[in-house]
Structure 1
Amino acid sequence: MQTRRHFLKSSVITGSAILGGGSLGLLASQARAMPNVVLQPAITEFPIISNLPAQKMFSYTPGGPAPILRAKQGEPFHARLENKLPEATTIHWHGLRLPNAMDGVPFVTQPYVYENETFDYIFTPPDAGTYWYHPHCNTLEQMSYGLTGILIVDEKDTPDFDDDVSLNLRDWRLGSDGQFIDLYKARKSARAGTFGTVKTANWSQNPTYEVPSGGIVRLRAVVTDVTRIFKLTTKGAKATVIALDGYPVPNHFELDHHAVGPGQRIDLAIRMPDEEGSAVELINTSASKAWTVATLKTKGLSLKRDIRDLKPLPKNPVPVPDLQNAEHIPFEFTATAESAPKNGFCGTIGFSFWAINRKSWLGVSPDPMEPLAELKLGKSYVFSFRNRTPHTHPIHLHGLSFTLLNSNKRKIDPFITDTALVLPDERMDVAFVADNPGDWLLHCHIIEHQKTGMSGFIRIT
Structure 2
Amino acid sequence: MNLLRRVLMAGGTALPLSIWSAARQPAKAATEPTVIRATSRTLDIDGRAATVLGLLRPDGGHGLVQQPGERFRVRLENRLPERTIIHWHGQTPPFAQDGVPDTPLPLIAAGADRAFDFVPNAGTHWMHAHVPDQEMRLLAAPHIVRSAEDARADRQEVVMMLHDYSFTPLGEILARLGAGGGAPHAAAGNPHGGMSPAAAPHGGMPMGAADINDIDFDAYLANDRTLGDPEVVRVERGGRVLLRVINGAAATVFWIDTGRLEASVVAVDGHPVDPLRTTRFALAMGQRADLLLELPGEGGTFPILALREGARERTGIILATPNAPVARIAPEAESAAPGFDGRQELRLHSASPVPARRADRNLAVTLNGGMTPYVWSIDDRPWGRHRVLEARRGERVELTMTNVSMMAHPMHIHGTVFQVVGWGSQRFVGARRDTVQVPPMERVTLAFEFATPGRWMFHCHHMPHLATGMMTEFVVAG
TM category, shorter? 0.7 to 0.9
Number of the residue aligned with 2:320: 297
Number of the residue aligned with 2:401: 385
Given candidates 182, 186, 197, the residue that maps to 2:177 is: 186
Q: Is 1:453 the equivalent of 2:474?
A: no
Cα distance, 1:153 vs structure 2:
0.6
Number of the residue aligned with 1:434: 450
Given candidates 168, 172, 192, the residue that maps to 2:165 is: 172
Number of the residue aligned with 1:40: 37
> Partner of 2:114: helix, strand, or coil?
strand
Cα distance, 1:337 vs structure 2:
10
Given candidates 92, 100, 106, the residue that maps to 1:97 is: 92
Number of the residue aligned with 2:126: 132
> Aligned partners of 1:70 and 1:405: how far apart in 2?
31
Number of the residue aligned with 2:422: 406
Q: Which moved more, 1:258-267 or 1:291-300?
A: 291-300
Cα offsets for 1:37-94 (capped at 9, x unmatched):
x1222233221223x322x321223999861411245432111111111111011000
Contact 2:259–2:303 (8 Å) recurs in 1: yes
> Aligned partners of 1:413 and 1:240: how far apart in 2?
19
Number of residue equivalences:
388
Q: Is 1:335 the equivalent of 2:358?
A: no
> Partner of 2:251: helix, strand, or coil?
coil
> Partner of 2:117: helix, strand, or coil?
strand
Given candidates 293, 299, 302, the residue that maps to 1:276 is: 299
Contact 2:378–2:471 (8 Å) recurs in 1: yes
Number of the residue aligned with 1:341: none
Cα offsets for 1:171-211 (capped at 9, x unmatched):
11148xxx999565424498644232211111012322111
What letter is aligned with 1:281? I
Relative to structure 1, the CA distance from residue 131 to residue 241 in structure 2 (aligned partners, 3 Å threshold; closer, same or farther) is same
Relative to structure 1, the CA distance from residue 105 to residue 297 in structure 2 (aligned partners, 3 Å threshold; closer, same or farther) is same
Cα offsets for 1:1-20 (capped at 9, x unmatched):
xxxxxxxxxxxxxxxxxxxx
What letter is aligned with 2:102? F
> Aligned partners of 2:371 and 2:172: how far apart in 1?
23
Relative to structure 1, the CA distance from residue 336 to residue 193 in structure 2 (aligned partners, 3 Å threshold; closer, same or farther) is closer
Unaligned runs of 5+ in 2: 1-29, 179-200, 208-212, 325-349
Contact 1:382–1:432 (8 Å) recurs in 2: yes
> Aligned partners of 1:166 and 1:320: how far apart in 2?
32
What letter is aligned with 1:327? R
Given candidates 77, 81, 87, the residue that maps to 2:82 is: 87
Given candidates 55, 68, 90, the residue that maps to 1:60 is: 55
Number of the residue aligned with 1:320: 355
Q: Is 1:162 the equivalent of 2:143?
A: no
Contact 1:65–1:202 (8 Å) recurs in 2: no
> Aligned partners of 2:117 and 2:378: how far apart in 1?
31
Number of the residue aligned with 1:258: 281
What letter is aligned with 2:379? N
Cα distance, 1:408 vs structure 2:
1.5
Cα distance, 1:384 vs structure 2:
0.3
Relative to structure 1, the CA distance from residue 84 to residue 278 in structure 2 (aligned partners, 3 Å threshold; closer, same or farther) is closer
> Partner of 1:235: helix, strand, or coil?
coil
Cα distance, 1:420 vs structure 2:
0.8
Given candidates 215, 219, 222, the residue that maps to 1:201 is: 222
> Aligned partners of 1:281 and 1:172: how far apart in 2?
20
Cα distance, 1:436 vs structure 2:
2.3
What letter is aligned with 1:153? V
Cα offsets for 1:212-231 (capped at 9, x unmatched):
11111000110001000112
> Partner of 1:88: helix, strand, or coil?
coil
> Partner of 1:143: helix, strand, or coil?
helix
Cα distance, 1:439 vs structure 2:
0.8
Please report the TM-score for the alignment, with normalisation by the length of structure 2: 0.74
Q: Is 1:353 the equivalent of 2:351?
A: no
Number of the residue aligned with 1:49: 46
What letter is aligned with 2:135? M
What letter is aligned with 1:329? L
Percent identical: 27
Cα offsets for 1:273-304 (capped at 9, x unmatched):
21233324334262332635221112389xxx
Cα distance, 1:106 vs structure 2:
0.9
Contact 2:386–2:471 (8 Å) recurs in 1: no
> Partner of 1:42: helix, strand, or coil?
strand
Cα offsets for 1:110-163 (capped at 9, x unmatched):
1110101111111111x3100000111xx2221122211000011034241421
Contact 1:173–1:182 (8 Å) recurs in 2: no
What letter is aligned with 2:277? E
Cα distance, 1:264 vs structure 2:
0.3
Number of the residue aligned with 1:144: 136
> Partner of 1:299: helix, strand, or coil?
coil
Unaligned runs of 5+ in 1: 1-31, 302-313, 339-350, 362-367
Relative to structure 1, the CA distance from residue 384 to residue 167 in structure 2 (aligned partners, 3 Å threshold; closer, same or farther) is same
Contact 2:411–2:459 (8 Å) recurs in 1: yes
> Aligned partners of 1:183 and 1:236: how far apart in 2?
39
Given candidates 105, 108, 123, the residue that maps to 1:110 is: 105
Please report the TM-score for the alignment, with normalisation by the length of structure 1: 0.77
Number of the residue aligned with 1:307: none
Contact 1:229–1:262 (8 Å) recurs in 2: yes
What letter is aligned with 1:120? A
> Aligned partners of 2:57 and 2:428: how far apart in 1?
43
